[in-house]
Chains A and B, each alone.
Chain A
Amino acid sequence: MDLAIPSIDIASLGPELILSIAAILVLMVSVFLPKERKDPACYLSLLGILFALASSVTLWGKPKYAFNNMIYVDNFGLFFNMVVLITAGIAILMSINYLKEEGMSHGEFFALILFATVGMMFMAIGSNLITIFLGLETMSISIYVLAGFLRERDRSNESALKYLLLGAFSSAFLLYGIAFIYGATGTTDLKGISVFLSEATYLNDPMLLAGTGLLLVGFGFKIAAVPFHMWTPDVYEGAPTSVTAFMSVGVKAAAFAAFVRVFSYSLWNLQPDWVLLMWILAVLTMTLGNIAAIAQTNIKRMLAYSSIAHAGYIMVGMVASSELGISSILFYMLAYAFMNLGAFGVIIVFERKGEKNLDIEDYSGMGFKYPALALLMSIFLFSLAGIPPTAGFVGKFYIFGAAVKEGYIWLAIIGVMNSLVSVYYYLRVTVVMYMNEPVKEFTGITWSPSMVIALIIAVIGTLLIGILPSPYLDLAKQSILLMM
């Protein structure tokens, strides 16, 4: 065994490096900033995100392996990079004022968001199970801390602890799965695995199949698929709302990026083995998420279950796994980022210190008192429910369309029926906002400039993708060319 020193190709890691440096700078700078005056730290992190985005754009369209095949910078990975970068940017914009109100404005918060984003990006471009695992852990550890960031609040601590315990539990399964796969194929390189499987004559190796199953568990936990979803409502409810927004989109996007790369490409030859399981998990995830959401009274919990249901919809795209199926997953992820972040943004605007105004009932009469806020909320909820002309509608249309095209008609029917169920709880909020009398005094809301920018980005994204979908679908289609 000879050890070659891998060629170092810094340029391929541009976005990740920029973001890491930005994170370190944020940490250093914020030491010198007076307490409660941490604004320069956020600007610095936003700047880092912008540069990372620009750097991703320059890498577009030139797929290449780097660092001894540990990463593969292709359009697919870059697409997800951009989604998580946008998510991080919006989440930071939404956090600035929120943290001030909670009295927890610390530079570490922004650095952690950036580190988590770096982890997510490694998951998206990783072309080796080890890279993906490292990315996943980098992301997870940052998120554990972020979930418990409001350390004086019990629920925030509870959230962090639960996520840490269960996250560690599931990471073990993922690692175990990687070990099994290595044992069966002799490599952790995604392309190597794929080559091995295409040449192998005997695919029923129990070690290989068990490894596949355990990988499924590991990814299933991160995307909150049933039955690995139980942590979601508790963690989402307890975490600071802007962190919930960030993790509900960012973690899911990164996990799906890796999930798709591993299953729909590397393990494609095992597709006949895993597709039925994926089918069952998709149905369970959609259905359970939607049904459980109905009974929720807390809006963050409701959106937690809703995010479980959306993971189910995206899994429908994985079952289809055709070119259209994969590109519709990418499209959906982009749409989901805008609409879900937007909905959480409205929640943050309306929320008051100490977890006030988080019950759906509190939204009664909001349509008259704060018409602009209620209108925004309605747009995001309509989009989540999949009603045209919003991004959510087009996303679902393409995903279910892909399923029908590949012959999974029942899956599409179940998916559409699930969307119907979801309309009930999304519209309930709208009904409460516009048709109920206020149950208590409104305490006033604060529009911070950064939040306004974030909401404007989210609403423009939601409507633009809904009305002019084709450029984004083309982008998604371009992204899956030349994968692997």
Chain B
Amino acid sequence: MLDYVWLVPIFPVIGVLINGLLGHKLSKRLVGFVACSVIFFSFALSVLLFLSLLKLPPEARSFEKIVYTWIATGDFKTNIGFLVDPLSIVMMLVVSGVSFLIHVYSVGYMHDDEGFRRYFTYLNLFVFSMLVLVCSNNFLLMFVGWEGVGLCSYLLIGFWYQRKEPADAGKKAFVVNRIGDYGFLLGMMLIFVTFGTLNFYDVFQSAHHNFHVGNLTITAITLLLFVGATGKSAQIPLYTWLPDAMEGPTPVSALIHAATMVTAGVYMVVRCNVLFTLAPISLTVVAIVGVVTAVFTASIALTANDIKRVLAYSTISQLGYMFLACGVGAYAAGIFHLMTHAFFKALLFLGAGSVMHAMSGELDMRKMGALKSHMPRTYWTFLIATLAIAGIFPFAGFFSKDEILWNAFQQNTILWALGAGAALMTAFYMFRVVFMTFHGESRVDEEVKEHLHESPPVMTNPLIILAILSAVGGFVGIPIIKGANFFHDFLAPVTGGHAVESAKITLTNLAYASGGHASAAEAGHHSIGLEVLMMIVSLAIAGIGIGLAYYMYIKNPSAPKKLAQRFTLLYQLIFNRYFVDEIYDFLFVNPIKRGSTLLWQIFDAKFIDGMINGAGQIVKWSSVGLKRVQTGYVQNYALSILIGVGAIIVYFLYM
């Protein structure tokens, strides 16, 4: 069964080929059907792979499938090869499962769009790239997927390229991501120079055996890889592209910019946990960047009025949590949150899309309100997702977020305090969204009001499924009770967490052995009483956030304005997103633009172009000259041969 892993990414390719090449001849129904069914096949196959992986004993749950040798030249050899292990199978399930739901939703959402076929071609291409990214067994193929998702993200953000904003946003995402990709690329090159291979297993095994904790090369590698992660996963300082990416169609935001692609950085860090564990400095950097991003962007979400922007900043903030988890060595917790976040954040975006659908594309929450009665399904599913993200028991987010905070607490109280602060803000801004959109007085424009309607079942059914997942998804990782944290135990072969002694080191149980850092944090001196107390604290924090939101937006709607007036400076600072975009423009973008203009006008236009055109001219002239030599007379041709013979004889006899 595991041999068929390569089919998982192949199915979406079939969709791309059918819709991309023949799409213009197919009906919209068929295009949608093809696109959804190929993703469903990928998902079904992932489930089968998962089941057959479960049948194996935990330490044997790692399977490499080499499809063929891709590049072999000199010392450099890379395979097209796939890896099935607990980590990659979780990612495959999440990616293909959530993708399938969002594909179905898109059939309804994009129904009237002219670019329907183009949309599904890109979307399938994205799923292909993402699956390659998570299934690959080596860094280079992973990078192929990494670049592929970046390309699809660019194409889909700028999907409505006729308008200026989406086109600009696409460009911004692409350029910012390139900075990160450059880091990834350098990290990868350094890995090759250091280890002589790019295969995950070989690299990790060699790192485990030959390098000590704190090795500088490993630190450099991990920092460079993390630069890549900050680009793709929108962390400080490279997060600015994600809010702008909301210009794309909403299902795209849900799939690419919330549930899957942006988590690639987290996946990569967890995949390389053997390396990161060897580099405490890098881990500290990851934790700090993660927690600072979580707090910083949560605060921006407090004042945003555009529903999708709130969700975008919330995504960045939640990704910060995942990096915090990685930074404190709780890799499994990071992936756990990645999974639950995929459920509830996809649901939030799709819910927002459903609202937009009803509101004729309106995004400003100040023009919403009291939508609850108009669209009950959207409301209830949205509420469940909000409870999940706020971390209310027993919804999914509670379990994963609490695990991260508990691990952070054991490492460092400051990290915990910042994380808890972000949690407070999360609960507040998410309920602010709920209250402003679905409750209170209706501020909807009159003409829009007439069209208010619940979305069709093709859109609400995925919402309901995601809502179920957001509600109960957390129970795969129950804390405290020994043996009930299935998720954690399942991932343990990759992420460590148990001290298992094994004579034979494989990729799977390599992590067992190297998980010293992680196990100290996770399995460490457990105090159940303390852990329960911390849970209650988390719940209380969430409750305070919800209460505040209720007070300010339902009870006393004039409060926000007063507060804003009272702290004008702070409010303006946050409302303008700390002017980060402006600062970047001032510090980097504009100087580079000016410098580029200068280079373009003087160096490029005069010097380079002159050289290029000159070279072209010379080639052209010589070409015409050669044409003239070609007289068509056989005697001239024979003469040319004779001259050649003469020259060769002279060469041989006198050289």
Q: Which residues in window 14-32 of A have CB below 8 A to B?
A: none
A470 CA to B72 CA, complexed, in Å? 8
Contact yes or no, B644 A277, CB < 8 A:
no
What's the tally of chain A residues with a CB closer than 8 Å to chain B? 42
Find chain B residues with CB under 8 A from A161 CB.
634
A139 CA to B630 CA, complexed, in Å? 26
Asked if B626 is at the interface (CB within 8 A of a chain A CB), the reply is yes
Q: Which of A228, A292, A470 contacts B641 (CB 8 A)?
A: A228
Q: Which of A162, A173, A398, A421 contacts B645 (CB 8 A)?
A: A173
Q: Which residues in window 392-411 of A have CB below 8 A to B?
A: 397-398, 401, 405
Find chain B residues with CB under 8 A from A401 CB.
73-74
Find chain B residues with CB under 8 A from A470 CB.
68-70, 72
Asked if B623 is at the interface (CB within 8 A of a chain A CB), the reply is yes
Q: Which of B73, B619, B638, B641 contacts A217 (CB 8 A)?
A: B641
Q: Given A210-B653, A295-B623, check contact A217 B637 (CB 8 Å).
A: no
Asked if A230 is at the interface (CB within 8 A of a chain B CB), the reply is yes
A233 CA to B640 CA, complexed, in Å? 14
Q: Which residues in window 612-642 of B have CB below 8 A to A?
A: 619-620, 622-624, 626-627, 630, 632, 634, 636-638, 640-641
Q: Which residues in window 230-266 of A have CB below 8 A to B?
A: 230-231, 233-234
Find chain A residues with CB under 8 A from B636 CB.
230
Give, as a whole number of angstroms, the nearest-CB distance from A154 to chain B: 12
| B interface residue count range (under 10 / 10 to 19 / 20 to 34 / 35 or more) | 20 to 34
A444 CA to B622 CA, complexed, in Å? 37
Find chain A residues with CB under 8 A from B652 CB.
209-210, 212-213, 273, 277
Q: Which of A228, A230, A294 contacts B630 (CB 8 A)?
A: A230
Q: Which of B70, B627, B644, B653 contacts A227 (CB 8 A)?
A: B644
Contact yes or no, B641 A294, CB < 8 A:
no
Asked if B567 is at the interface (CB within 8 A of a chain A CB), the reply is no
Asked if A13 is at the interface (CB within 8 A of a chain B CB), the reply is no
Give, as a whole number of angstroms, the nearest-CB distance from B258 to chain A: 32
Asked if A220 is at the interface (CB within 8 A of a chain B CB), the reply is yes
A401 CA to B652 CA, complexed, in Å? 28
Contact yes or no, B645 A214, CB < 8 A:
yes
Asked if A206 is at the interface (CB within 8 A of a chain B CB), the reply is yes
Give, as a whole number of angstroms, the nearest-CB distance from A408 to chain B: 15
Q: Considering only CB atoms, which chain A residue lies closest to B647 in the complex?
A: A227
Q: Given A230-B636, A234-B632, check contact A166 B619 (CB 8 Å).
A: no
Q: Considering only CB atoms, which chain B residue lies closest to A276 in the complex?
A: B655
A231 CA to B651 CA, complexed, in Å? 24
Q: Which residues in window 261-275 of A have CB below 8 A to B?
A: 273
Give, as a whole number of angstroms, the nearest-CB distance from B614 to chain A: 14
Find chain B residues with CB under 8 A from A294 CB.
619-620, 623
Give, as a whole number of angstroms, the nearest-CB distance from B629 to chain A: 8
Contact yes or no, B626 A288, CB < 8 A:
yes
Asked if A169 is at the interface (CB within 8 A of a chain B CB), the reply is yes
- Count of chain A to chain B residue pairs whose CB atoms are closer than 8 Å in the complex: 91
A71 CA to B469 CA, complexed, in Å? 73
A276 CA to B653 CA, complexed, in Å? 14
Q: Which of B68, B73, B638 contacts A398 (CB 8 A)?
A: B73
Asked if A363 is at the interface (CB within 8 A of a chain B CB), the reply is no
Contact yes or no, A421 B619, CB < 8 A:
yes
A170 CA to B624 CA, complexed, in Å? 27
Find chain A residues with CB under 8 A from B634 CB.
161-162, 165-166
Contact yes or no, A169 B623, CB < 8 A:
no
Find chain B residues with CB under 8 A from A291 CB.
619, 622-623, 626
Find chain B residues with CB under 8 A from A234 CB.
630, 632
Q: Considering only CB atoms, which chain B residue lies closest to A230 in the complex?
A: B637
Interface string of A3-14 (1 = CB under 8 A from B): 000000000000
Find chain A residues with CB under 8 A from B632 CB.
234
- Of B622, B630, B649, which is in contact with the most chain A CB atoms at under 10 Å from its CB? B630
- Of B72, B74, B620, B637, which is in contact with the most chain A CB atoms at under 10 Å from its CB? B637
Asked if B643 is at the interface (CB within 8 A of a chain A CB), the reply is yes
Interface string of B308-340 (1 = CB under 8 A from A): 000000000000000000000000000000000
Give, as a whole number of angstroms, the nearest-CB distance from A56 to chain B: 25
Asked if B540 is at the interface (CB within 8 A of a chain A CB), the reply is no
Give, as a whole number of angstroms, the nearest-CB distance from B52 to chain A: 27
A217 CA to B645 CA, complexed, in Å? 7
Q: Considering only CB atoms, which chain B residue lies closest to A398 in the complex?
A: B73
Asked if A427 is at the interface (CB within 8 A of a chain B CB), the reply is no
Q: Given A277-B648, A291-B619, check contact A228 B640 (CB 8 Å).
A: yes
Q: Which of B70, B73, B651 contacts A213 (CB 8 A)?
A: B651
Find chain A residues with CB under 8 A from B637 CB.
162, 166, 230-231
A470 CA to B66 CA, complexed, in Å? 13
Find chain B residues with CB under 8 A from A221 CB.
641
Contact yes or no, B623 A227, CB < 8 A:
no
Give, as a whole number of angstroms, the nearest-CB distance from B649 to chain A: 5
Give, as a whole number of angstroms, the nearest-CB distance from B317 to chain A: 40
Contact yes or no, A213 B649, CB < 8 A:
yes
A213 CA to B648 CA, complexed, in Å? 6
Find chain B residues with CB under 8 A from A165 CB.
634, 638
A233 CA to B624 CA, complexed, in Å? 15
Give, as a whole number of angstroms, the nearest-CB distance from A210 to chain B: 6
Q: Which of A169, A292, A471 contacts B638 (CB 8 A)?
A: A169
Find chain B residues with CB under 8 A from A206 CB.
653
Find chain A residues with CB under 8 A from B643 CB.
227
Give, as a whole number of angstroms, the nearest-CB distance from B288 to chain A: 41
Give, as a whole number of angstroms, the nearest-CB distance from A413 to chain B: 15
Contact yes or no, B74 A405, CB < 8 A:
yes
Contact yes or no, A468 B68, CB < 8 A:
yes
Q: Which residues in window 57-111 of B have CB below 8 A to A?
A: 68-70, 72-74
Q: Given A209-B653, A401-B73, A470-B72, check contact A166 B623 (CB 8 Å).
A: no
Contact yes or no, B626 A292, CB < 8 A:
yes
Find chain A residues with CB under 8 A from B627 CB.
292, 295-296
- Of A206, A234, A397, A405, which is in contact with the most chain B CB atoms at under 10 Å from its CB? A234
Find chain A residues with CB under 8 A from B69 CB.
470
Asked if A193 is at the interface (CB within 8 A of a chain B CB), the reply is no
Interface string of A202-221 (1 = CB under 8 A from B): 00001001101110110011
Give, as a whole number of angstroms, the nearest-CB distance from B27 to chain A: 21
Find chain B residues with CB under 8 A from A173 CB.
641, 645
Find chain B residues with CB under 8 A from A405 CB.
74
A288 CA to B619 CA, complexed, in Å? 10
A471 CA to B637 CA, complexed, in Å? 42
Give, as a whole number of angstroms, the nearest-CB distance from B633 to chain A: 9
Contact yes or no, B638 A166, CB < 8 A:
yes
Q: Considering only CB atoms, which chain A residue lies closest to B651 in the complex?
A: A277
A296 CA to B624 CA, complexed, in Å? 9
- Of B70, B648, B653, which is in contact with the most chain A CB atoms at under 10 Å from its CB? B648
Q: Considering only CB atoms, which chain A residue lies closest to B622 in the complex?
A: A291
A209 CA to B649 CA, complexed, in Å? 8
Q: Considering only CB atoms, which chain B residue lies closest to A292 in the complex?
A: B626
Give, as a whole number of angstroms, the nearest-CB distance from B176 to chain A: 27
Give, as a whole number of angstroms, the nearest-CB distance from B302 to chain A: 48
A213 CA to B655 CA, complexed, in Å? 13
A228 CA to B648 CA, complexed, in Å? 12
Q: Considering only CB atoms, which chain B residue lies closest to A284 in the complex?
A: B644
A288 CA to B626 CA, complexed, in Å? 8
A468 CA to B69 CA, complexed, in Å? 8
Give, as a whole number of angstroms, the nearest-CB distance from A260 to chain B: 18
Q: Given A210-B653, A421-B619, A470-B69, check contact A227 B641 (CB 8 Å).
A: yes
A227 CA to B626 CA, complexed, in Å? 12
Find chain A residues with CB under 8 A from B638 CB.
165-166, 169
A-B contact list, 14 entries, CB within 8 Å: A165-B634, A169-B641, A214-B645, A214-B648, A216-B648, A217-B648, A227-B644, A273-B652, A288-B626, A292-B626, A295-B627, A296-B627, A401-B74, A473-B72
Nearest 3 CB-CB pairings of A with B: A295-B623, A230-B637, A209-B652
Besides A228-B640, A228-B641, 15 other A-B contacts (C-beta < 8 A): A166-B637, A166-B641, A209-B652, A213-B649, A214-B648, A227-B640, A227-B641, A227-B647, A230-B636, A234-B632, A277-B648, A291-B626, A294-B619, A294-B623, A295-B626
